[in-house]
């Protein structure tokens, strides 16, 4: 089971791309949880991000939309608090994608085996390219 965390803060330009890419990962849908950690302060953006999560959930993706009542620790705080949810305990692996990152569909297929076959390896760092909003 893989937990995919996406921390967000007022990400109007990339939230759809980011959530869509995470939900489009080539991994069994019953073996992945996409956790969107929304620290947005703009209520309009917050509503849009929540709606996007609901759209993907209706398509059968296991998407959890999580918000906090403070921004303590900023992004790191959001990631840490995201790990406190009970459903996270069922996850064996964790992938963290920044809001402006859109992983290739085969990202988990290419990285999780390194961790699964090598118990001495705790982290896989991958190369990625940043896209510019509007050029996707």
Average pLDDT across the chain, whole number: 92
Instruction: Give the CATH number for residue 48.
Output: 3.90.550.10
For the ranges 34-43, 85-94, 113-122, the lowest mean pLDDT is seen at: 113-122
Q: Which structural domain range is residue 26 located in?
A: 2-117
pLDDT digits (tens, 9 = 90+) for 44-103: 999 999 999 999 999 999 999 999 989 999 999 999 999 999 999 999 999 999 998 888
What is the tally of structural domains in the chain? 1
Identify whether 70 is part of a domain.
yes
Task: Give the DSSP letter string of 83-104.
Answer: TTSGGGGG-SEEEE--TT----
Task: Please compute the mean of the pLDDT values over residues 91-116 and round it to a whole number.
Answer: 92
For 55, how many CA atoms within 13 A lie in the half-sphere containing its CB? Answer: 11
The confidence score (pLDDT) of residue 135 equals 46
């Amino acid at each position: 089971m893989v937990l995919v965390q996406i921390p967000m803060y007022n990400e109007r330009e990339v939230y759809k791309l980011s959530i869509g890419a995470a939900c489009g990962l080539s991994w069994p849908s019953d073996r992945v949880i996409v956790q969107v950690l929304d620290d947005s302060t703009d209520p309009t953006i917050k509503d849009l991000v929540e709606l996007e999560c609901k759209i993907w959930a209706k398509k059968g993706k296991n998407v959890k939309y999580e918000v906090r009542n403070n921004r303590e620790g900023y992004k790191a705080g959001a990631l840490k608090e995201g790990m406190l949810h009970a459903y996270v305990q069922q996850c064996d692996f964790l992938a963290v994608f920044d809001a402006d990152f859109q992983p290739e569909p085969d990202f988990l297929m290419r990285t999780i085996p390194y961790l699964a076959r090598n118990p001495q390896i705790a982290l896989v760092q991958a190369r990625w390219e940043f896209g510019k909003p509007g050029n996707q």
